[in-house]
A = this chain, B = another copy of it.
Amino acid sequence: MYRIFTLSIFFLVALSTSLFAQSQAVKVAQEYRDDNAHSILENYLEFLSIPNVASDIENIHKNAEWIMNAFEERGAEMELLTLPGQPDVPPVIYGELNTPGAERTLILYVHYDGQPADPNNWTHAPWKPTLYSASMEDKGEPIEFPEADESINPEWRIYGRSASDDKAPFAAMLSTLDAFQENDIELTSNLKFFFDGEEENGSPHVRQILERYKEKLDGDLWLFFDGPMHQSGRPQVVFGVRGVTGMEVTVYGPSRPLHSGHYGGWSPVPGQMLAELLASMKKETGEILIDGFNDSTAPITQADKEAFATLPDVDDEIMEDLGLTWTENEGRSLIESYMYPTLTIRGLSSGNTGELARNVIPTTATATLGIRLAKGNNPEDMKDKVEAHIRKQGYYIVRDDPDMETRLQHQKIAKVTRGGGYPAMRTSVENPMTQQVVDALKKATSDDLILYPTMGGTLPLYHFEQIMQKPIVIVPIANHDNNQHAPDENIRIGNIWYGIDIYFSIFTMD
């Protein structure tokens, strides 16, 4: 029924591409993937069979070759962006697909490498993609590839490394381009492709690539096709990511472990010193007590608040799922908390606990502090502020374990090891270029689109922002329960269909 309806719509609107209404683009896309579902899947399974860990340079190049061929077949001009003298760096695959008369250029980011996978932890081999009748959690079973006359259920899953993260956008994008070609529809933007080959390895060379090929990569808007959809299952567009940094703090007690009977109540106890130091930095209820920690944070605008209003209120549900009856910074929603810098104790250690506990006063106590950054926070400046606070508590800061002379010169000593990191990136919700994408997405989705001001996770997007100076928007298509970075990664077929729908809508936006 549905199919007949969409078909008739298609014939009505497809008489002329110039008359083609972007609002109806989705129908064309749906029609196309209904007709071609088998070949889309077959093609995708082939692609998922090529191992794609960034360090496996031979297979990385096989992936690159597959991608280059696929995009060239669809009319794009492709090339590899490399760094001279660094043959073992996975190349960025670059491409262009120009539309005569188009005045806007979209740069599409996807990464073709995937997380390493230990086959022992997978139900099936990571690079032997396997079709399932539903997710394993929903008692799905492996199924054979469907016969030509058998319809394909959007609830089916493909299990395999990178099925979601981040090869899924390739499956959707290639099908989208095919749909354009088959229907003789023209895109409304020029496309540039930027396919990263070492994202899961932290994209260590992306900055150099951007600097080297800056001119070639120029365009109006970067679209990052990566990440999962909202956990509610609703479509979303994401305007930013948190930044990240961190530090490790070690405080010192006696120079050797002391018998807790012979020296307890007399020797300073590093665990106690650390507890007092950490309690002075932040309340368990979330309030950060470090001077100026929040000063550089970008203010929350009216538009941000309106974006929050598009978000489903799932906090209570998540809390229940996590066995929590309270949260830090009471009254601030999970998503709202992404707009502020954090200070999180990721690890504590001193002596031993449990079965290994001994009757000693340990020599040191260590806390690993994670700092997530909001727009405006500079990673070095934030660490400086924490260090200033530590000094204010009477500590002398060292970079290496103190020697005896240092110990005897300073009452309290803290070794601070500063981590690296990068700032947050956030494109304004009010940017006119991003508004066009938002409009296109709204048209492609019957569900309310979620405007997500910033993600909790961290991606090195700030390189792109800093060097390219263009707005960046993240448009995810993967199901939220895709097990990315874990064994049994999977994509729900319906999410590839969703990708085709929204890409079609974006590529035909006004």
The interface of chain A, by Cβ under 8 A from chain B, is 242, 244, 248, 252-256, 258-276, 278-280, 282-284, 286, 320-329, 332-334, 337-338, 340-342, 344-354, 356-362, 365-368, 370, 372, 402, 404, 407-411, 455-458
Contacts and interface: CB of A to CB of B under 8 A. Distances in A.
A276 B265 contact: no
12 contacts: A256-B322, A262-B455, A265-B337, A275-B345, A279-B279, A325-B411, A346-B351, A347-B351, A347-B354, A352-B368, A354-B366, A357-B368
A276 to B, nearest CB: 5
A362 B349 contact: no
Contact of A342 (B264, B346, B357, B411): B264
Nearest to A336: B266
A331 to B, nearest CB: 11
A275 B279 contact: yes
A20 to B, nearest CB: 40
B323 A367 contact: no
Nearest to A320: B408
B260 A346 contact: yes
Determine which residue in A242, A264, A333 has the highest number of CB atoms from chain B within 10 A of its CB, and name it.
Answer: A264
A178 B458 CA distance: 80
A258 B340 CA distance: 18
A350 B258 CA distance: 23
B272 A334 contact: no
A421 to B, nearest CB: 11
Contact of A268 (B284, B402, B410): B284
Contacts of A323: 252, 254-255, 402, 404, 407-408
Given A244-B261, A272-B278, A346-B351, 9 more contacts: A254-B324, A259-B457, A263-B334, A266-B329, A275-B276, A275-B284, A346-B359, A349-B354, A352-B368
Contacts of A358: 346-347
Contacts of A341: 265
Contacts of A265: 286, 328-329, 332, 337-338, 340-342, 344, 372
Nearest to A257: B346
Given A340-B265, A368-B353, A456-B264, A276 B284 contact: yes
Contacts of A366: 353-354
A327 B365 contact: no
Contacts of A279: 272, 275-276, 278-280
A352 to B, nearest CB: 5
A254 B334 CA distance: 14
Given A258-B322, A323-B408, A349 B346 contact: no
Nearest to A256: B322
B347 A271 contact: yes
A271 B345 contact: yes
A276 B348 CA distance: 13
B325 A267 contact: no
B322 A255 contact: yes
A347 to B, nearest CB: 4
Nearest to A410: B325
A242 B263 CA distance: 11
Central interface residue in A242, A255, A261, A366, by most chain B CB within 10 Å: A261
A274 B276 contact: no
A272 B284 contact: yes
Residue from the set A259, A346, A458 with the largest chain B CB neighbour count within 10 Å: A346
Contact of A248 (B334, B354, B408): B354
A362 to B, nearest CB: 7
A261 B273 CA distance: 27
A329 B321 CA distance: 45
Nearest to A349: B353
B357 A353 contact: no
A268 B326 contact: yes
A327 to B, nearest CB: 5
A347 B337 contact: no
A361 B334 contact: no
A254 B256 CA distance: 35
A350 B345 contact: yes
B456 A262 contact: yes
